[in-house]
Chains A and B, each alone.
Chain A
């Protein structure tokens, strides 16, 4: 549905988007993830033909953004970061206006307007001035205008920014429910959002593509090296922390032990095991046999957040201790992540 190849946008002094390539298949929800200023909005604006790319190629629904911008725009619904509302208009008049602008007319227009009002639950507000609506309703009207002409592709720029937690949930529900009919790209810098709403994720940082993969794959990738938190203690007396660490290191499969916290009666260790080894049982046995108390043992699965930080903060990752596990190879169907500057 969307293919992007070496898309680049240069401004006078900076390069906002630097040779990014990805593709999105029909019906997918893709999370476009990156810190503020990574080039998410710039990429989206190129896809919506708001401005042309400096170099590279992008097609939406089979149309080229440079050669056939009007066709592309006909197939795209776009919600910019700030919903583009005319504050002096009533909701329903605004939706009619946008509908006409996108080429609807007559009974079909009225049908679509009624449909999006129902779909986005803004029926109560249909005769109110947009300027009087709350932030949550404005966002919904923004979403309603994006889907009014039933576009194949929906591009949503931070659709949940500035909403309260309940509204965020409602907005996510709404977006998820739209996924069947539309291919959706949504940008965000909030990670749980991607985990909850999206199937695919594209991570960019400083204008460069860092990774594209499915959410499940990324999470699996993070769990590749199993890491655990272990709290051990003694009943009465001093806890022999160095000895305990040595004992843990002797357990087969343990690749690294770090003492995270130490107190009089016990300690917390972070343990990394080499990939594919399940050693929790061995660990527990070793502790109990040594006569210590096993207070807690839980997997410390890396959240998407940590992957994200790891991927977008490459210099820090490179300076990490050499014995840290090497990043696993990317899934075969995903393009190789580019080296980050």
Chain B
């Protein structure tokens, strides 16, 4: 546990001493801010129109702003997660620092957990930082905070799962660009697998759709804590990290 934290802390420091963390924060804030501004403007526009027409149909901040906002940023992850994970192992392999880690009195699992945790913390930092936008909604409106919290939890869980996959892919190569590109492809595929059920209801399509992260994000997004979706995310995390340990072991046998 102590070793995991040592590895994690170094990893986080390196994210923040190199421009990566700051660049990601800036990009994510910009895009998220734009989404937020867009949805908010639309919401206000609709509000005014409804008042002018004298209709008092109910408006809901959660449904009309927070939920689409979270759905959008869940998709944004596909772009950001490869950028976070691609360096984790690929850079160490290229610089030879993996030899230091692998010959220190530290278990492989501790190294892997430390790195994944650092990636998750950076990712959580991105999400929370941009979540500040929502403070305006709470200041001037009256959204349901429980629903919002569950939606954010879903966002973090999905991130954790994709980060674990990215961590695994990063152990496969020395080249950060290859690691990034493959992680991007994997994330994108995991996202769009859900599409098949819209035109096909065969068993394989149902399975494919179940594998997709998209089909598990909806309930969280609506503010419903579904156990089976949480279990799905946690199993992907477990699978990703398990594959990483196997990959690191095979690295030892092969190299």
Q: Are A100 and B255 in contact (CB under 8 A)?
A: no
In chain A, what residue has the closest Cβ to B106? A101
Stretch at the interface among B76-84, B97-105, B150-158, B178-186: B97-105
Which residue of B6, B14, B96, B100 is within 8 Å of A100 (Cβ)? B6
Q: Which residue of A lies closest to B110 (CB)?
A: A101
CA distance in complex: A89, B13 (Å): 9
Cβ of A43 to closest chain B Cβ, rounded Å: 14
A103 to B152 CA separation, bound complex (whole angstroms): 37
Q: Does A49 contact B (CB under 8 A)?
A: yes
Interface size on A, residues (CB 8 A): 31
Residues of A within 8 A of B105 (CB): 70-71, 73-74, 101-103
- Which residues 98-153 of A have a CB within 8 angstroms of B? 98, 100-103, 145
Contact of B103 among A50, A52, A87 (CB under 8 A): A50
Which of A224-263 touch B at CB < 8 Å? Answer: none
Name the distance in Å between A111's Cβ and chain B's nearest Cβ. 18
Could you tell me the distance between the alpha carbons of A84 and B98 in the complex, rounded to whole angstroms? 8
A82 contacts chain B at the CB level, 8 A cutoff: yes
Number of interface residues of B (CB under 8 A): 25
Within 8 Å CB of A78, what residues of B? 99-100, 103
Check B100–A88 contact: CB distance below 8 A: no
Known: A51-B253, A51-B255, A100-B6. A73 touches B103 (CB 8 A): yes
Known: A50-B103, A102-B104. A84 touches B253 (CB 8 A): no
Q: Quick one: given A70-B107, A103-B105, are A84 and B6 in contact (CB under 8 Å)? A: no
Contact A97 B103 (CB under 8 A): no
User: Is B3 in the interface zone, CB < 8 Å from A?
Assistant: yes
Tell me the A5-33 residues at the B interface (CB within 8 Å). 11
Q: How far is the CB of A143 from chain B (nearest CB, A)?
A: 13
Identify the closest chain B residue to A72 (Cβ): B105
Interface positions, chain B 10-52, Cβ under 8 Å from A, are: 10, 13-14, 17-18
A48 interface contact, C-beta 8 A: yes
When C-beta atoms are compared, the residue in chain B nearest to A69 turns out to be B105
Q: How far is the CB of B10 from chain A (nearest CB, A)?
A: 5
Residues of chain A lying within 8 A (CB to CB) of residue B18 = 88
Are A76 and B17 closer than 8 Å at their CB atoms? no
Contact for A97 among B6, B98, B99, CB less than 8 A: B6
User: A79-102 toward B: CB 8 Å interface, digit per residue (1/0)?
Assistant: 011111111110001000110111
Q: Specify which chain B residues have a CB less than 8 angstroms from the CB of A98 in the assembled complex.
A: 100, 104
Residues of B contacting A103 in the complex (Cβ-Cβ under 8 angstroms): 105
- Residue of A whose beta carbon sits closest to that of B15: A88
Cβ-defined contact, B97 with A86, below 8 A: yes
Verify if B139 is at the interface (C-beta below 8 Å from A). no
CA distance A49 to B100 in the complex (A): 11
B253 near A52 with CB under 8 A, answer yes
Contact A76 B97, CB 8 Å, known A52-B253, A100-B6: no
A73 touches which of B7, B13, B95, B104 (Cβ 8 Å): B104
B155-191 CB contact bits vs A (8 Å, 1 = yes)? 0000000000000000000000000000000000000
B146 interface residue per 8 A CB criterion = no
Instruction: Assess whether A80 is in contact with B96, with CB atoms less than 8 Å apart.
Output: yes
- B3 near A86 with CB under 8 A, answer no
Whole-angstrom distance between the alpha carbons of A78 and B105 in the complex?
Answer: 12
- For A76, the chain B residues whose CB sits under 8 A away are 103
B96 cross-chain contacts in A, Cβ below 8 A: 80-84
Q: Within the complex, which residue of B3, B100, B101, B252 is in contact with A52, where a contact is CB–CB below 8 Å?
A: B252
* Cα-based distance from A74 to B98 in the complex (angstroms): 17
Whether the Cβ atoms of A88 and B97 lie closer than 8 Å is no
How far in angstroms is the closest Cβ of chain B from A75?
A: 9
Q: Which of B82-122 contact A (CB under 8 A)?
A: 95-107
Contacting B6 at CB < 8 Å: which of A86, A87, A101? Answer: A101
Known: A48-B103, A52-B253, A73-B105. A84 touches B14 (CB 8 A): no
Could you say which residues of chain B place their CB within 8 Å of the CB of A82?
95-96
Q: How far is the CA of A88 from the CA of B97 in the complex (A)?
A: 12
Which residues in A have their C-beta under 8 angstroms from that of B14? Answer: 86, 88-89
* Bound CA span A45–B254, Å: 12
Residues of B within 8 A of A49 (CB): 102-103
- Closest residue of chain B to A155 (Cβ to Cβ) is B103
**Residues in A whose Cβ lies below 8 Å from that of B99:** 45, 50, 78, 80, 84
A–B complex contacts, Cβ < 8 Å, 17 sampled: A50-B102, A51-B252, A51-B255, A52-B252, A52-B253, A73-B104, A76-B103, A78-B103, A80-B96, A80-B100, A81-B96, A87-B95, A89-B13, A97-B6, A101-B100, A102-B105, A103-B105
Q: 5 tightest A-B contacts by CB?
A: A84-B100, A74-B105, A48-B103, A51-B252, A84-B97
Given contact pairs A86-B97, A97-B6, a sample of 7 additional A-B residue pairs in the complex whose CB atoms are under 8 Å apart:
A48-B103, A52-B252, A71-B105, A86-B10, A89-B14, A102-B104, A145-B100
Instruction: Please give the residue numbers on chain B whose beta carbons come within 8 Å of chain A beta carbons, in ascending order.
Output: 3, 6-7, 10, 13-14, 17-18, 95-107, 252-255
